[in-house]
Structure 1
Amino acid sequence: MSVGMTTNATKPTLRGTILAVDDEPDILVALEDLLEDEYRVLTTSRPAEALEMIAAEPDIDVILSDQRMPGLTGDALLAQAREISDAQAILLTGYADISAVVSALNRGGITGYVTKPWDPSLLRNAVRAAHERHRLARELATERALLRGLLDHSGDAIAFKDAQGRFLRLNARMATRLGAPSSEACLGRREAEVAGPGSEAAEAAVAADLAAIASGAPTETMVASGPEAAQTWSQVTRVPIRDAAGAVVNLAVIERDVTEQRLLEMRLRQADKMQALGTLAGGVAHDFNNLLTAILGSLELALPKVAGDARLSRLMTNATQAAQRGAALTKRLLTFSHRRDLQARVVDLNAVIRGMDDLLGRSLGGFVQVERALDDDVWPARVDPDQLELAILNLCINGRDAMPEGGVVALSTRNEVVRASADPNLKPGDYAVIAIRDTGTGIPPEILGRVFEPFFTTKGVGQGTGLGLAMVFGLVQQSGGTIRIDSEVGHGTTVLLYLPRSHEAVEPVQAAGAAPAPAPRRARVLVVDDDPQVRHVTASFLNGFGYDEAEVPSGEAALERLAAEPFDLVVADLAMPGMSGLDLAEAVRTHWPALPFLLVTGHAEAARIPADFSVLEKPFPSADLAARVAALLTQDV
């Protein structure tokens, strides 16, 4: 029968818990009286019940057991208790039971014994020492479990080393990083020994370990590894660990993979650069378009005056063609700066490729030969031709860069009917296919899957933006198609652009030299532009069409002129200092709502122009201006 059981036996307590086992109730009472001031005391006179209590009470710290008990001796009881509990054990025995003490030491793992009759002070001290050992053992076990959990489940590579940089403990992630078969294979060795001779990274790590130990201060370094095209970055933190005397005895090393973070930072920096470049490109394009408007307009106005001089006419025609090529390049510059929305129309893909002769010749240089194999019956496709030109140019430049000693870039077109495809982006249907093939170095398989990622580039720092293939991928996807890439190291790369077949007719491109439309009626037109050359060309065109024109250099001057005299139409530049063309147009709508207004700009995407405003982009031939003015004046009638 048990005695001295507390009512909250199953609840944990801040005090230590002692289990006393003795078949004599008087001894149990004496033990309880002796220890209850410091501990929670459980008692029982039956060994079998003691084992049940031990199984039900995981918080028992110390077991006090008599040796001589009916049914089960103390040493046997403590041996069974050892299998289910980590409690410290003290054997109570007489002087004649030394053999039992030896058995308890061997089988029951006792930490001490006290002879009967006991000395109260000696017994208390033995219990206190056993309780303290149990507390420290549990704290150590908890710390070990926490450390093991940290090591086994951390996403970082973690290791602990001695003062000579040799591994004491490490997790599997660190062993994998070192190329070791297991954590145990690294113990007692330095990184250079695990990685093998010739590993510069391992030797650098050993030097960094010893430097951190010598300095005694935590250090943090960024380490890059792998080939440049697929580089990874790790943030390595080294924390020296000191003993009670303050000497560095160990080193904790934590390596965190920060590749994604590093790539994100690089992408953000690259995005900032591209935004700045786009802004610069837009501003340059605006200025160039103003210059080209003045040049092309002046040449168009001057050509009829030299019709009798064949040599002079030929020179002016050459100048006009050169300026028109400059206008096309400026248009591509705006496209590159991401300031033009997709303007898809049905196009002849062969015509787009043939129209790139000059552009490809200037971009690829003399070491690259361009070949074409264009199918005369290739289907038309609905796509933005300017963006398609930029995509093809990007792919050709990539091919050139893959052939540093020169080679061939081959452009071809064909029709393909897709019945079924493993590519989820390639749906069944009819496709016009553009293939761009180079004879360059090819792309390694481990990189091939990443080439369409924004900002991913295999080129050196400052040599590539990582946006070329991403832009191409975006274009074909927005056009309803997809892109495929086949490459083999040493045997070149082929990129295939799949564009859905359009059953509509190819949309004709208006010829730049079309005859101006005649003036529908006599009208007064106010020309507003801060650039005097552009203003003069625009006014001269209008005068030649048969209109009465007046010129002012600013929006403020235009409002004064409109308030003073009547006009039938206003033609104004968009980008002007002070009052912009858009501000002027809104003011005109407010005060003269029936007055037609035409905005002229060399950079239409620089401002959000409402859809119901009429816009003409610079540089423009006189025919385009005439047609737009005639249409606006006709609407006004």
Structure 2
Amino acid sequence: MNTRRSERALILAPRGRDATIASAMLREAGIVAEACPSLPALVDAFQDGVGLVMITEEVLATADTAPLAMWLARQEEWSDLPFILLTRRGGGLERNPSAARYLGLLGNVTFLERPFHPTTLISLAQAGLRGRRRQYDARGRLEELRESADRYRTLFDSIDAGFCIIEMIFDGDRPVDYRFCEVNPAFVRQTGLDQALGKRMREIAPAHEQHWYDLYGGVARTGEPIRFENPADALGRWYDVYAFRVGEPAAHRVAVLFNDISARRRVEQELRELTASLEQRVEEATGEREVALAQLHEAQKLETLGQLTGGVAHDFNNLLTPITGVLDLLQRRYGKDDDRAERLIGGALESAERARVLVQRLLGFARRQALQTQALDLAGLLDGMRDLIASSVGATVEVRLRVGKDLPAALADPNQLELAILNLCVNARDAMPNGGVLTVAAEPAALGPGDVPQVKPGLYVRLSVIDSGVGMNEAVLSRAIEPFYSTKEVGKGTGLGLSMVHGLASQLGGGFRITSAVGQGTRIDLWLPIASERAADHRTPSEEPAQTVRPLSILLVDDEQLVRTATAEMLRELGHSVVEAGNGADALARLPKQAIDVVVTDYKMPRMDGAELAKRVREIRPELPLLLITGYTGPADEAPDLPRLDKPFRRADLAAAIERLVDPPRNVVYLQSRSKDG
């Protein structure tokens, strides 16, 4: 190794991985780097030559720095060993009170704040080595200067650092001025003082501050060199200044060597800004992560409730089916002859209907009901609901229907949408205890990206329910669609209305939004997808259907005996003969032995479900009509092409479904329907 011009970088960072990482970065940049285990080992390594030292603030804070200070004090006048000090608090006194002490100890030091960028480290290291090379150059030229005055002049004129020799002028012990004895071209370039040679500073700059005279006067008197960085001047330039006494003490001459470090200071400022920006980005990312975790937690809660709801819906509807069916038969047989029986049975049927609606609301919230969508004339549906809405909200509420012109057909489940609209209207009524105005509006709407969260841009039909009621505060509004959350009195609501509507809109591929303020009413908007087909007719069967179908032989398949018995009794009441089977295998065994006109089968059954049974029946008799009855099939229905009747159902619903099987109307699409009371 060339000890005369060593450019070796010595690294003292015994804690952590700073030494390993920094060594790798410097070597990759072509700089020879060597890690030292301790401060004494570092000082010993100086004897073999050193171009740059990288040291951590922790070492200086804990180790005995006397050997290092002694070596630095004894280095030759040309030498000003460059240091890079790794710190966590930067190099400014406002953030790092120890910075002044480190500057006084190390002299030529650049503060590098952790975490540092590789580019910044390499840039500072290369700048330090460039300065070290200039010191080597200065050393060689100073040696030549001792041999020849001409060579001294060459050195003086050629170095890149600004260099001048000044003679201090004292008034007693007080320095009052100084004269420029020597200046080099770099001095002229960096200061702009092209006629300073031989002149006094007060001639050139009468307002020059006294502390500069005191500073250089102290060097002239004591012989103690000083090192400092002067603040930025009017042009924003920073200088690294090194002053030391030259010649005989009585001559009071001081050599001043300075470099323009404006670029380095800019790098340090950029590093501080980068660090601050990094901290801000970390805080923002942490905040976004916390929000995402909260959303995930809410989604998991909703998914768990949805799974529970879907699991119990089938069994619950199976329980309701025989109850509803038998009550329907009892009311038909005995209600007309016994007013008390009719009242009691009617009350029981009303309770069963409320239970059915509750299950639908739960499934709507959980987005797990099997929607039967069609192209829907929303204007016609709202017009048909006018009287129902008016009677539901009462005489103190004025109902206004506003439907836009040329309203396109919406893609929706008419029954579920009717239930959603009625729920919203009843909620609006409750928000207007002293009466008010209820507006139900429908109009085409175009959504752009991000207009409604989680809704794709495109064309929609917007259905709005607007009331002039009391409105909601921020706390209530933030929880409005939570399941089972309600501001009504106990027994006045389930807290599932808005949850069901929100779930319905999402399952349809549309959007949902609540806008409200205290004292300013509430507006609820539903965005429904536009259908690609024309709107289909939608009708409900009458409570007492006329017998328009000939008596049929029906194979009824259901693993629940109570459900099977009630359904068979309703079919017999309609004039049909019924062959009962408790499972799919039993049904397939009976099919060749009986003259069957229609197969009515449950969906969820052990071993062979309704979809598999339908597939096997079609292999035997492809023309045989099939009707699927189900408590809950869910969104993953494996038999989407089968006509379906949802449990619980009443005699009128069953009659209408059988009629559509054997005598379907032409050019009319029917989906699951129900009677007004069942």
1:45 lines up with 2:154 in the alignment: yes
Letter in 1 for 2:654: L
Alignment of 1:566-605 (within 5 A): 567-605=596-634
1:265 lines up with 2:293 in the alignment: yes
1:351-387 deviation line (CA, Å, top 9, x unaligned): 54654689889xxxxxxx9723235999898554423
- Equivalent residues of 2:571, 2:577 under 8 A apart: yes
1:517 lines up with 2:517 in the alignment: no
Q: Once the 2 structures are TM-superposed, how far is the Cα of residue 148 of structure 1 from its aligned partner?
A: 0.9
1:335 lines up with 2:364 in the alignment: yes
Tell me the residue number matched to 1:286. 314
- Equivalent residues of 2:541, 2:653 under 8 A apart: no
SS at match of 2:134: strand
**Which of residues 373, 392, 408 in structure 1 aligns to 2:399?**
373
Alignment of 1:378-389 (within 5 A): 382=410, 384-385=413-414, 386-387=416-417, 389=419
Tell me the residue number matched to 1:277. 305
Q: Distance in 1 between matches of 2:594 and 2:311?
A: 35
Bigger Cα displacement from structure 2, 315-324 vs 469-478 = 469-478
What 5-or-longer segments of structure 1 have no aligned partner? 33-41, 55-62, 85-97, 117-129, 158-253, 362-368
Bigger Cα displacement from structure 2, 328-337 vs 267-276 = 328-337
1:550-578 deviation line (CA, Å, top 9, x unaligned): 22222233334346666443221111233
Alignment of 1:235-634 (within 5 A): 258-306=286-334, 309-311=337-339, 312-340=341-369, 341=371, 343=373, 345-346=376-377, 347-349=380-382, 351-352=384-385, 355=388, 371-375=397-401, 382=410, 384-385=413-414, 386-387=416-417, 389-390=419-420, 393=423, 397=427, 410-413=437-440, 434-440=464-470, 457=479, 463=485, 468=498, 475=505, 485=515, 489-495=518-524, 507-519=538-550, 522-523=552-553, 525-562=554-591, 567-605=596-634, 607-629=636-658, 632=661
Pick closer, same or farther for the CA change 1:278–1:351 going to 2, 3 Å. Answer: farther
1:149 lines up with 2:179 in the alignment: no
Pick closer, same or farther for the CA change 1:513–1:565 going to 2, 3 Å. Answer: closer
Letter in 1 for 2:398: R
Tell me the residue number matched to 1:218. none
Q: Distance in 2 between matches of 1:604 and 1:591?
A: 25
Q: Once the 2 structures are TM-superposed, how far is the Cα of residue 630 of structure 1 from its aligned partner?
A: 5.1
RMSD: 6.1
Q: Once the 2 structures are TM-superposed, how far is the Cα of residue 582 of structure 1 from its aligned partner?
A: 1.9
> What TM-score, normalized by structure 1, do the two folds share?
0.54
- Equivalent residues of 1:293, 1:534 under 8 A apart: yes
Tell me the residue number matched to 2:244. 112
Bigger Cα displacement from structure 2, 473-482 vs 327-336 = 473-482
Q: Once the 2 structures are TM-superposed, how far is the Cα of residue 18 of structure 1 from its aligned partner?
A: 3.3
- Equivalent residues of 1:282, 1:606 under 8 A apart: no
Q: Distance in 1 between matches of 2:611 and 2:600?
A: 11
- The number of residue pairs the alignment matches comes to 458
Q: Once the 2 structures are TM-superposed, how far is the Cα of residue 147 of structure 1 from its aligned partner?
A: 5.2
Pick closer, same or farther for the CA change 1:108–1:497 going to 2, 3 Å. Answer: closer
> What TM-score, normalized by structure 2, do the two folds share?
0.51
Compare CA radii of gyration and give the structure with the larger one: 2
Bigger Cα displacement from structure 2, 384-393 vs 467-476 = 467-476
1:28 lines up with 2:144 in the alignment: yes
Q: Distance in 1 between matches of 2:353 and 2:240?
A: 100
Pick closer, same or farther for the CA change 1:102–1:354 going to 2, 3 Å. Answer: farther
SS at match of 1:109: strand
- Equivalent residues of 2:508, 2:529 under 8 A apart: no
- Equivalent residues of 1:412, 1:436 under 8 A apart: yes
- Equivalent residues of 1:79, 1:108 under 8 A apart: no
1:150-169 deviation line (CA, Å, top 9, x unaligned): 44423529xxxxxxxxxxxx
Pick closer, same or farther for the CA change 1:265–1:553 going to 2, 3 Å. Answer: same
Tell me the residue number matched to 1:238. none
Q: Once the 2 structures are TM-superposed, how far is the Cα of residue 307 of structure 1 from its aligned partner?
A: 6.5
SS at match of 2:634: helix
SS at match of 1:514: coil
Q: Distance in 1 between matches of 2:185 and 2:5?
A: 19
Q: Distance in 2 between matches of 1:629 and 1:100?
A: 113
Q: Distance in 2 between matches of 1:388 and 1:458?
A: 20
Q: Once the 2 structures are TM-superposed, how far is the Cα of residue 535 of structure 1 from its aligned partner?
A: 0.3
Q: Once the 2 structures are TM-superposed, how far is the Cα of residue 25 of structure 1 from its aligned partner?
A: 7.8
Q: Distance in 2 between matches of 1:570 and 1:460?
A: 42
Letter in 2 for 1:411: L
What 5-or-longer segments of structure 2 have no aligned partner? 7-28, 33-50, 52-131, 168-179, 193-215, 231-238, 249-255, 487-494, 665-678
- Equivalent residues of 1:476, 1:483 under 8 A apart: no
